[in-house]
């Protein structure tokens, strides 16, 4: 079980619709940003396709706080 992120802004920044993966050419196959819980800021499971070496989402760990 994963806990919530600290703020809505943090959830948006590390979610699949954050701009970095999409502007670099990755495609969202499964969008976990719509995950709903009773309370808190959660990002559900997300799957990206067309990710290549050199893309930020490939090279850097996506870490939410």
Grade residue 12 by pLDDT with cuts at 50, 70 and 90. Answer: confident
The residue-averaged pLDDT of 2-21 equals 72
Are 32 and 45 contacting, i.e. CB atoms less than 8 angstroms apart? Answer: yes
What is the average pLDDT value for the chain, to the nearest integer?
A: 76
State the pLDDT at residue 49: 92
Give the dihedral of Cα atoms 32, 65, 26, 61; nearest 10 deg. Answer: -130
pLDDT tens per residue across span 17-37: 565 677 788 888 887 776 667
> What distance in Å separates the CA atoms of residue 48 and residue 57, rounded to the nearest whole number?
9
DSSP character string of 7-43? SHHHHHHHSTTSHHHHHTT-EEEE-GGG---SSSB--
pTM exceeding 0.75: no
């Amino acid at each position: 079980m994963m806990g919530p992120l600290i703020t809505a802004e943090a959830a948006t920044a590390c979610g699949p619709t954050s701009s970095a993966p999409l502007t670099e050419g990755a495609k969202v196959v499964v969008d976990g940003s719509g995950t709903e819980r009773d309370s808190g800021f959660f990002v559900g499971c997300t799957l990206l396709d067309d990710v290549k070496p050199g893309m930020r989402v490939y090279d850097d760990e996506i870490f939410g706080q």
